[in-house]
Amino acid sequence: MSKYDFGMIGLGTMGRSLLLNMADHGVNGAGFDKDAAKGAQLETDGAGAKGNVKGFSDVEPFVASLNSPKAIMMLVPAGKIVDEVIEELLPFLDKGDILIDGGNSHFTDTNRRVDYLEAKGFHFFGMGVSGGEEGARRGPSMMPGGDKAAYNVMKPILEAIAAKIDGVPCVTYIGPGASGHFVKMVHNGIEYGLMQLIAETYEVLRNGLQLSNEEIHDVFAKWNEGRLSSFLIEITRDIFTYKEPGADHLLVDDIKDEARAKGTGKWTSQIAYDLESPITVIDASVSMRDLSKYKAIRVKAADLYTQSVALNVDKEAFLKSLEEAFFFSMIMSYAQGMFMLSRASAEYKYDLQLDEIAKIWRGGCIIRSKFLENIYGAYGKNKALEHLLLDADVVALVQGATQGMRTVVSSAVSAGIALPCYSAALSYFDNFKTANMPSNLTQAQRDYFGAHTYALNGKEGFFHTQWMPKS
C-alpha cells in the first residue's frame, strides 16, 4: 500500500483545500470522510499535483496508510464531534502519533484534550486556521499552539502551505496549551467587529447619503486602494458588483437582513469579561448579529416609530470624514483584541508574542489589512507595550482621524442612523484617554448599599463609610 505523509479528517471545503495545497507542495496526503463522494472529489481535484492524494471512507485503512509517526488533522465542527473523532481514531494510533485540531474549538475544550491525549502518550495541538476556502487552498494564516515538539515535526509542511508576506510564512508557534485556539478565537472576534463596522458604513452610505449601489462600490473600491486596504473591504467592493446570471440587480439586495454566527464572537465576549478586558466593538457586533435575527419584531417596530432621515451634509466632505471614522474604529477593534491577548497571555501563562501574531495575520487570514503592518511594527519595537493605543505612531494616526469620527457619529445619531460599533469605539477611546473616569461615584454607590468598600487617592487600603445614620 502507498504511504502518505499527512492525514486529514473531514473533506469539506477547508479539509479538501488544505490537502490539495499540501499536494501542490509535494506532500502526499490521505483524507478521510464518511461521505465517499468527498474522497473521490479529492482525488479528482488532486490529479496532476506534485504530491499524491487519496480518499478513504473507512478509518482503519486510512490510519494504516500513514507513515509513522502518524500526523492527522481534524477539520470537523467544534464540540462533541471532535471528541467522537478522537475516540474513533485512538484504537488505530500508536504512542507518539500526532493529532491536530484545526477547527474552531473552544479553548477550554482544547485544554481538556491536551491533558487527555498527553496522558495516553499522544502528541496533540490545537491550531487556528484562517483564510476561508481560498486561503486554505492557496495559503492560509495558521495559529498552532500546544505541544511544541509536535509542531516542530509539522513545521516544514505548515510553513510550505502557509500564505507568504515578503517570503515569510504566515504561521508561527503561538504558545503552550490552548493558546493557538485562543488566538484564533480573538481573531474571529476582531473579524466580527470589522464586519459590523463595514455593515454600519453601508447603512450610512445607503440611507444616510442615499448613494446608489454603484456609488457604494466606488467608495469601497477607493478605500481599498488606500490605508483601509484589507481583505474585508476588498470582498465588500466585489459584493457590490455581483448579479446572479440573468438578474438586473445586485444579489446583496435580495439577501435577508438576518446575520448568523457560529459562536466564536460570543466566546470572545464571554472570555473578555472573565479577563476584565473591555472589547466594546466586538461586544456590540455580537449583539447586533443577535438583534438582526428578530426580523419579525423589527418589522412591527418599524411601523410604530419614526425612521431615520437622510443626512443633510456635503457628501464629498462627509465621505472624507467617514473614511477617517472607519480607520479610527478599525484601530479600536484591533487594539481591543490585542489588549485581550496580552491579558490572556498573563492570565493563562501563554507568553504570547504579539508582534509575531500580528505578523502572521498580515497574509492569508480574514482580518488581514494594511494596518497590521503598524501593529507588527508597534509590538516589534516594544514587546512590553501595554496597549496598542500607547504607541506613538498609533497615537498620531488616531489623533488624525478623531475629528472625522466625531463628525460621523454625531451626524448619524442626529439623523437616527444606528452606529453601535462606531459609537462603542468612540466611547471606549474617550474613556481610555480619561485620567479620571466617573467610577468613583460607582464605588461610592456600591459602598452605600452593600458595604463593598472603596479605595482612596493617595492612601493604602480599602475603606467603608456609614453613609446615612442607622435607623
The catalytic residue positions are: 184, 191
188 close to 365: Cβ distance less than 8 angstroms: no
Q: Report the relative pairing of strands 168-169 and 123-130 from DSSP bridges.
A: unpaired
87 close to 60: Cβ distance less than 8 angstroms: no
Determine the Cα angle at 373 with ends 369 and 375, to 5°.
100
Residue 146, phi then psi, degrees to nearest 5: 130, -125
DSSP 272-307: HHHHT---HHHHHHHHHHHHHT-HHHHHHHHTTSPP
Instruction: Please measure the distance between the N-terminal and C-terminal CA atoms of the chain and give it in whole angstroms.
Output: 88
- Residue 329 burial (CB < 10 Å; 0-12/13-18/19+)? buried
Task: Report which of 229, 184, 417, 228 is spatially closest to residue 329, judged by C-alpha positions.
Answer: 228
Q: Per the structure block, which three cell numbers stand in for 394?
A: 498609533
Task: Provide the 10 A C-beta neighbour count for residue 456.
Answer: 10
Task: Report which of 112, 173, 164 is spatially closest to residue 140, judged by C-alpha positions.
Answer: 164
